[in-house]
């Protein structure tokens, strides 16, 4: 369970980085392709960063709880 949460946190952080880079480098060929494919996510890349932080916090809580149980 905690490995899946960590994987989702890394995926969300990577997506956030790509959307922040696409928003900052508007006009390049790859940014238009990403923003067209992603729809409205290029306008709000912070939502993926918040999701990554929340998942990382959840992973930390699960890891600490499992260390107390074991």
Answer whether residue 59 shows pLDDT above 90: yes
In contact, 48 and 19? CB cutoff 8 Å: yes
For residue 69, being part of any structural domain is answered with no
For residue 18, being part of any structural domain is answered with yes
pLDDT at 4: 93
Answer whether residue 30 shows pLDDT above 70: yes
Write out the residue range of the structural domain in which residue 22 sits.
Answer: 2-64
- Give this prediction's pTM: 0.78
What are 64's two structure tokens?
Answer: 């600490």
Q: What is the DSSP string of 29-51?
A: HHHHHHHHHHGGGGT-THHHHHH
Greatest mean pLDDT among 8-12, 21-25, 35-39, 40-44 lies in: 8-12
When divided into structural domains, the chain yields a total of 1
Answer whether residue 70 shows pLDDT above 70: no
pLDDT at 26: 67
């Amino acid at each position: 369970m905690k490995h899946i949460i960590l994987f989702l946190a890394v995926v969300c952080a990577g997506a956030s980085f790509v959307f922040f880079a696409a928003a900052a480098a508007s006009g390049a060929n790859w940014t238009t392709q990403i923003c067209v494919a992603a729809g409205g996510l290029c306008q709000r890349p912070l939502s993926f960063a918040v999701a990554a932080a929340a998942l990382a916090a959840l992973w930390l809580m699960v890891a600490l709880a499992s260390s107390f149980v074991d």
